[in-house]
């Protein structure tokens, strides 16, 4: 293979707010460069997972190498690194950006800049990427490209007057984008002769090849047989294969050298050994220092996951194991609940991550799950000076042993049109937000900054935000740290028995409201029994709310006509079957749906 | 010689009531006419020639099925025959007699055979009643449902209360000494006082037997679709109506012998009890259910399929019996050879519908194992919950057990 001219490589990504057309533009770029016929294109090439396509978001970074014959007569190699598009995956985004030399900023010609656009652009600028904007969806009747250009210049401070005006959906202006990539994105630096220094920006597990490590070679070279070392995890291995990313496939090559983006395999059994952000170097000729920015990713949100059918516990364990192979940010450990039996306490980057894992378990592994209310990690400072990180409310020590508790707080940025500032501020107040500032981006739009407890935003904050701004508000956040807070454990008692799976930590001021709502919801969910069932919410043994499920008055089939006994028996069987799917708490049978219903208390 | 009961299904109605999900078709062209369109004249006059043709051809199929099935029932003695529907009284009296003739010529009838015909008040004529008597019919079951014309209209009955009273009196004059009246509780917009009025009016006529069912809203019925338009009695009110029925009728000498059936001494419906006590019964006609020798099956519900079936019995090179024809298409006929555990389940959940409950001795006789051994623990638990009660050899539902009888009965299923 002829040596690749480093000056003809362009490593870049596309950043955008969700729905602004990032994946569609990626598709068009791949299509225009001729490696794929239109017929081969699945709707969106880069969003691989079924789930990703359904939700219209990118969950894992996807990368593709394409060849572009530019107007200057040269052949260029483009490495397009598609980044995850959600705040849950901010760290992955930052590592993917670090693998690039430039970024295309896609802005919707009608909607303009949104909170997530800003967050992503600042992230790109922080990584010293050269960013150039393109204005997408210019064929929409509501498109205002000139206004959006001004907005980009005013708000972000990057040149936008010559931004390509495109419609990714209809293939308008794509050539301009390709030329702009050649002109505006710098060629990678680094020397093939230096010691190997490669950035891991993603990895996937393959049952034949082991872990496939996605990396950007900053310095040096790597080939089959190179002894490598991951500098942060310390893992070592011998490279079995290197290659680059064809559309939808891995294409082996002889060597990867400085400036290139590609993959390597080395019979690595676990993605834990190939942490995103780690630096790969040559074991025998190591680089002096790892690349900056490596961070151990921590789970932010925890919940209990239980198989609806207790016998499926081993299946759930196997499924989690398999998902973990591909997802180093998923954590789990076995736990037991009196109410739900054997299950796992699982940790996630955020609620979206949680939902994705839950859906994958249900769809790809055909599991029926009961999940408990997601919660954050609280820090419990005990009177004896010890600090516990609490992921399961049931493990909260006795109040007499607690000196104080802390909860995680985020810095949030909410972009909103000025007419909705009032309702949004009220929402933030309700969620115990602390006002920081308001910045007017233009006459009609403002960026609200708040500090909010994480546990107030993990449920339905985003939905509430959308509904109170008729969909116009956008939102981004990052973890700020821990702060002391007046937290209590809310317990639910059904027929005087505490149901561990329903306990959770809540701010003292919200306990009554929350407890009342939970009791109301459970009353709807628990069917009448032969006896009356009190449902109570309690804090520290004190009852703060109560509802009652009245005793079943009647369950009798009047008619049984013409000797049709089979129909009657089916009815009885259905009744008995229904009971089997319930969870037994003392003498009360609770449907699975009851555990899930309390997660959605704010539906009105 | 074993006992056998025969059920004959007549799937025709003047029009379907709004709550009905039984297998029946309207033969008056327009289905479910609004009540105010009822005419003074009998509905029979409005049945067109086409409908008569339809009925006639159905009766011929029925007779074919009855006659050709007869060889299978040689060892049985028929103790009851029940014409149900639909509206059996819609049949011309001659047609009903012809069906009975087919039975008489192919089956051995007990001397005291109980022969019941279900009637809709609107279809009763003196001529018909006389022919019933001479055909051997000795019991009538008249569907009244309510003595309140507004309530009748709401549920889409074709008759009013006056028509019913005339039909009832006509039946008495014709010589029927064993009459059941069907009433319904928990009707739309009905309150307890309304229901009590119906009950008093019915009891004042002094029938031998009263069936009192609560309305069940079945999916796919017009009433189900329109339920928002009405206020339905609450569960509590419905139970009050039920309690009232038992108490009031008891004061007049009717005893409750099954969850929803009341009779004066000696007038319990023999046919009805066969279902609950797991006697043998064969159903003839469209969609009719049977249980003979611990095999259950149901006839096809589509007329075409039923016609094929009736045509195949006893035909072909191997002269297939009805049972052989059904076995060839066991799924379509829902043929179920009941296992011993299934028989035990049925013994319990059917037997408990009878107020006398189930007998330990009978259980032992049927299965060669004691009731205690199979269900002792469960019965003990349900007795402790006061849902069942035990007296000597018998186990039966308590009043509270009746209220939640589905729950109780479901416990006796093994699966």
The CATH number of the domain holding residue B82 is: 3.20.20.70
pLDDT band, residue A604 (cuts 50/70/90): very low
How far is it, in rounded angstroms, from Cα A462 to Cα A475? 7
Given a cut of 80, is residue A175 above it in pLDDT? yes
Given a cut of 70, is residue A45 above it in pLDDT? no
Q: What is the pLDDT of residues B80-116, one digit of tens each?
A: 999 998 899 999 989 999 999 999 999 999 999 999 9
Tokens 């049985």 -> residue: B76
Task: Dihedral sign for Cα B150, B153, B157, B162, please.
Answer: positive
Establish if B54 belongs to a structural domain: yes
Q: What is the pLDDT of residue B33?
A: 39
A181, two tokens? 């990539």
Where helices occur in B294-410 by DSSP H, the ranges are 303-312, 322-328, 340-351, 360-367, 371-384, 399-403, 405-410
Establish if B147 belongs to a structural domain: yes
Q: What is the pLDDT of residues A537-552, one digit of tens each?
A: 999 889 999 999 999 8
Given a cut of 90, is residue A127 above it in pLDDT? no
A397, two tokens? 């020590």
Q: Which of B238, B291, B349 sits opposite A572 (nearest CB)?
A: B349
Please answer whether residues A61 and A81 qualify as being in contact, where contact means their C-beta atoms are separated by less than 8 angstroms.
yes
How far is it, in rounded angstroms, from Cα B407 to Cα A507? 42
Q: Which residues 6+ apart lie within 8 Å of A272 measured at CB?
A: A233, A328
Domain boundary among B218, B249, B275: B275
- Is the domain of B108 the same as that of B12? yes
| Average predicted confidence (pLDDT) for chain B | 91
- Is the domain of B262 the same as that of B363? no
Domain boundary among B252, B275, B298: B275
pLDDT band, residue B153 (cuts 50/70/90): very high
Query: Residue B168, class by beta-carbon neighbours within 10 Å (0-12 exposed, 13-18 middle, 19+ buried)?
Result: buried
Alpha-carbon Rg for chain A, nearest whole angstrom, is 27
For residue B173, CA distances in Å to A432, B159, B181 come to: 83, 20, 16
Report, as an integer, the average pLDDT of B321-330. 89
Tell me the residue range of the domain where B153 lies.
Answer: 2-275
Report, as an integer, the average pLDDT of B26-55. 55
Given a cut of 80, is residue A471 above it in pLDDT? no
pLDDT band, residue A251 (cuts 50/70/90): confident
Q: Which residues 6+ apart lie within 8 Å of B339 measured at CB?
A: none
Q: What's the total number of domains in chain B? A: 2
Establish if B150 belongs to a structural domain: yes
- Is the domain of B92 the same as that of B225? yes
Establish if B19 belongs to a structural domain: yes
Cβ–Cβ gap B353/A560 under 8 Å: yes
In chain B, whose CA is at the least distance from the CA of A555? B404
Which is it for strands B139-145 and B108-119: parallel, antiparallel or unpaired? parallel
- Least Cα distance to A290 among A275, A312, A272 occurs for A275
Establish if B214 belongs to a structural domain: yes
Report, as an integer, the average pLDDT of A483-490. 95
Task: Dihedral sign for Cα A555, A558, A562, A563, please.
Answer: positive
Given a cut of 60, is residue A119 above it in pLDDT? yes
- Is the domain of B13 the same as that of B118? yes
Q: What is the DSSP letter of A174?
A: H
- Is the domain of B210 the same as that of B351? no
- Is the domain of B251 the same as that of B344? no
Q: Which of B296, B346, B405 sits opposite A556 (nearest CB)?
A: B405
- Is the domain of B113 the same as that of B237? yes
Q: What is the pLDDT of residue B46?
A: 53
Please answer whether residues A392 and A451 qualify as being in contact, where contact means their C-beta atoms are separated by less than 8 angstroms.
no
How far is it, in rounded angstroms, from Cα A9 to Cα B264? 100
Q: What is the pLDDT of residues B167-176, one digit of tens each?
A: 999 999 999 9
Where helices occur in A112-173 by DSSP H, the ranges are 115-126, 145-151
Please answer whether residues A259 and A6 qualify as being in contact, where contact means their C-beta atoms are separated by less than 8 angstroms.
yes
Q: What is the pLDDT of residue A326?
A: 74
Report, as an integer, the average pLDDT of A358-381. 90
Cβ–Cβ gap A562/B235 under 8 Å: no
Q: What is the pLDDT of residue B54?
A: 87
Q: What is the pLDDT of residue B246?
A: 96
Task: Dihedral sign for Cα B408, B410, B413, B415, please.
Answer: negative
Question: Looking at beta carbons, which residues of chain B come within 8 Å of A562?
Answer: 7, 9, 22, 84, 283, 288-289
pLDDT band, residue B34 (cuts 50/70/90): very low
pTM: 0.67
Interfacial B residues in 116-175 facing A (CB < 8 Å): none
Establish if B286 belongs to a structural domain: no
- Is the domain of B265 the same as that of B392? no
Which ipTM value was assigned to this complex? 0.84
- Is the domain of B126 the same as that of B225? yes
Question: Looking at beta carbons, which residues of chain B come within 8 Å of A527?
Answer: none
Q: Which is more confident, A33 or A161? A: A161
Domain boundary among B275, B309, B328: B275
Given a cut of 50, is residue A327 above it in pLDDT? yes
Given a cut of 80, is residue B49 above it in pLDDT? no
Given a cut of 90, is residue A51 above it in pLDDT? no
Report, as an integer, the average pLDDT of B3-16. 93
Report, as an integer, the average pLDDT of A144-164. 90
Q: What is the pLDDT of residue A562?
A: 65
- Is the domain of B44 the same as that of B131? yes
pLDDT band, residue B31 (cuts 50/70/90): very low
Please answer whether residues B267 and B210 qualify as being in contact, where contact means their C-beta atoms are separated by less than 8 angstroms.
no
CATH code of residue B358: 1.10.10.10
Min Cα separation A596/chain B (Å): 26
- Least Cα distance to B86 among B163, B185, B20, B165 occurs for B20
Lowest-pLDDT range of A462-466, A529-533, A586-590, B292-296: A462-466
Establish if B205 belongs to a structural domain: yes
Alpha-carbon Rg for chain B, nearest whole angstrom, is 22
Q: What is the pLDDT of residues B264-309, one digit of tens each?
A: 999 999 999 999 999 999 999 999 999 999 999 999 999 999 999 9
Cβ–Cβ gap A575/B406 under 8 Å: yes
Return the percentage of chain A with pLDDT > 90, whole number. Answer: 47
Q: What is the pLDDT of residue B36?
A: 39
- Is the domain of B214 the same as that of B353? no
Report, as an integer, the average pLDDT of B391-408. 94
Q: What is the pLDDT of residue A16?
A: 82
Tokens 């259980």 -> residue: B363
Given a cut of 80, is residue A441 above it in pLDDT? no
- Least Cα distance to A344 among A332, A358, A328 occurs for A332
Establish if B300 belongs to a structural domain: no
- Is the domain of B88 the same as that of B6? yes
Please answer whether residues B263 and B252 qualify as being in contact, where contact means their C-beta atoms are separated by less than 8 angstroms.
no
| Average predicted confidence (pLDDT) for chain A | 86
């Amino acid at each position: 293979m002829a040596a690749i001219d480093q000056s003809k490589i362009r490593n870049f990504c596309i950043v955008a707010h969700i729905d602004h057309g990032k994946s569609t533009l990626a598709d068009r770029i791949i299509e225009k460069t001729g490696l794929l016929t239109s017929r081969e294109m699945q709707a969106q090439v880069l969003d691989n997972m079924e789930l990703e396509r359904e939700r219209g978001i990118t969950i894992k970074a996807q990368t593709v190498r394409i060849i572009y014959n530019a107007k200057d007569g040269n052949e260029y190699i483009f490495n397009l690194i598609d980044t995850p598009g959600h705040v849950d995956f901010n760290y992955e985004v930052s590592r993917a950006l670090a693998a690039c030399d430039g970024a295309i900023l896609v802005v919707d010609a009608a909607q303009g800049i949104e909170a997530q656009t800003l967050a992503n652009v600042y992230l790109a600028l922080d990584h010293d990427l050269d960013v150039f904007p393109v204005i997408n969806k210019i064929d929409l009747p509501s498109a205002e490209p000139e206004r959006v250009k001004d907005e980009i210049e005013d708000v972000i401070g990057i040149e936008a007057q010559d931004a390509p005006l495109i419609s990714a959906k209809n293939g308008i202006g794509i050539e301009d984008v390709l030329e702009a990539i050649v002109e505006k994105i710098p060629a990678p630096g680094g020397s093939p002769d230096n010691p190997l220094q490669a950035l891991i920006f993603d990895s996937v597990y393959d049952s034949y090849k082991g872990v496939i490590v996605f990396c950007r070679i900053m310095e040096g070279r790597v080939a089959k047989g190179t002894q490598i070392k991951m500098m942060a995890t310390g893992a070592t291995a011998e490279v079995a294969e290197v290659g680059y990313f064809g559309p939808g496939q891995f294409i082996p090559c002889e060597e990867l050298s400085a400036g290139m983006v590609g993959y390597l395999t080395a019979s690595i059994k676990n993605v834990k050994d190939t942490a995103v952000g780690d630096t790969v170097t040559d074991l025998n000729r190591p680089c002096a220092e790892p690349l900056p920015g490596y961070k151990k990713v921590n789970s932010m949100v925890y919940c209990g996951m239980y198989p609806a059918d207790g016998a499926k516990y081993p299946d759930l364990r196997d499924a989690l194991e398999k998902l973990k192979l591909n997802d180093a940010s998923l954590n789990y450990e076995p736990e037991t609940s009196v109410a739900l039996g054997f299950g796992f306490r699982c940790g996630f980057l955020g609620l979206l991550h949680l939902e994705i894992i839950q859906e994958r378990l249900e769809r790809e592994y055909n599991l029926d799950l009961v999940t408990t209310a997601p919660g954050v990690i609280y820090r419990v400072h005990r009177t004896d000076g010890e600090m516990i990180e609490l992921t399961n409310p049931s493990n909260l020590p006795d109040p007499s042993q607690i000196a104080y508790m802390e909860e995680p707080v985020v810095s949030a940025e909410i972009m909103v049109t000025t007419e909705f500032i009032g309702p949004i501020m009220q929402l933030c107040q309700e969620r115990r937000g602390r006002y920081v500032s308001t910045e007017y981006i233009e006459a009609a739009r403002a960026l609200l900054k708040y500090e909010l407890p994480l546990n107030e935003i993990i449920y339905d904050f985003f939905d509430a935000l959308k509904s109170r701004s008729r969909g116009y508000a956008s939102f981004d956040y990052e973890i700020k740290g821990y702060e002391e807070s007046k937290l209590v454990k809310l317990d639910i008692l059904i027929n005087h028995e505490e149901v561990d799976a329903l306990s959770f930590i809540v701010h003292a001021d919200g306990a009554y409201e929350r407890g009342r709502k939970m009791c109301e919801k459970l009353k709807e969910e628990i069917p009448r029994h032969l006896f009356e069932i009190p449902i109570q919410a309690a804090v520290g043994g004190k009852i703060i709310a109560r509802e009652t499920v009245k005793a079943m008055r009647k369950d009798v089939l009047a008619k049984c006509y013409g000797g049709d006994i089979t129909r009657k028996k089916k009815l009885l069987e259905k009744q008995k079957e229904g009971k089997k799917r319930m969870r037994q708490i003392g003498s009360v049978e609770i449907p699975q749906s009851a555990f899930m219903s309390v997660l959605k208390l704010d539906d009105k | 010689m074993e006992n056998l009961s025969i059920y004959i299904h007549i799937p025709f109605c003047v029009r379907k009531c709004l709550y009905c999900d039984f297998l029946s078709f309207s033969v008056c062209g327009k289905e479910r006419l609004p009540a105010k369109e009822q005419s003074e004249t009998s509905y029979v006059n409005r049945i067109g020639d086409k409908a008569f043709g339809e009925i006639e051809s159905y009766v011929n199929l029925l007779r074919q099925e009855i006659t050709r099935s007869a060889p299978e029932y040689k060892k049985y003695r028929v103790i009851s025959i029940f014409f149900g529907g639909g509206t059996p009284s819609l049949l011309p009296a001659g047609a009903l007699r012809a069906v009975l003739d087919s039975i008489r010529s192919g089956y051995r009838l007990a001397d005291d055979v109980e022969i019941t015909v279900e009637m809709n008040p609107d279809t009763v004529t003196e001529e018909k009643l006389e022919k019933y008597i001479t055909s051997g019919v000795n019991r009538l079951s008249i569907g009244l449902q309510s003595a309140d014309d507004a309530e009748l209209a709401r549920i889409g009955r074709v008759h009013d209360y006056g028509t019913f009273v005339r039909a009832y009196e006509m039946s008495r004059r014709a010589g029927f000494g064993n009459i059941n009246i069907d009433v319904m509780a928990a009707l739309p917009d009905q309150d307890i006082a309304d229901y009590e009025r119906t009950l008093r009016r019915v009891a004042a006529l002094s029938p031998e037997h009263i069936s009192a069912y609560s309305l069940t809203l079945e999916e796919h019925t017009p009433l189900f679709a329109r339920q928002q338009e009405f206020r339905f009695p609450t569960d509590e009110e419905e139970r009050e109506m039920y309690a009232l029925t038992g108490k009031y009728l008891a004061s007049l000498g009717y005893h409750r012998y099954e969850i929803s059936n009341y009779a004066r001494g000696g007038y319990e419906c023999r046919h009805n009890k066969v279902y609950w006590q797991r006697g043998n019964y064969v159903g003839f006609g469209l969609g009719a259910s049977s249980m003979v020798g611990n095999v259950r099956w149901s006839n096809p519900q589509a007329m075409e399929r039923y016609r094929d079936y009736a045509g195949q019995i006893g035909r072909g090179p191997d002269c297939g019996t009805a049972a052989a024809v059904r076995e060839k298409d066991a799924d379509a006929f829902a043929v179920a050879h009941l296992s011993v555990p299934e028989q035990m389940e049925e013994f319990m959940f059917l037997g408990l519908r009878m107020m006398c409950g189930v007998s330990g001795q009978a259980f032992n006789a049927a299965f060669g194992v004691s009731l205690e051994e199979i269900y002792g623990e469960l019965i003990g638990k349900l007795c402790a919950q006061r849902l069942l009660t035990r007296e000597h050899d018998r186990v039966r539902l308590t009043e509270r057990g009746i209220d939640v009888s589905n729950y109780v009965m479901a416990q006796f299923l093994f699966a």
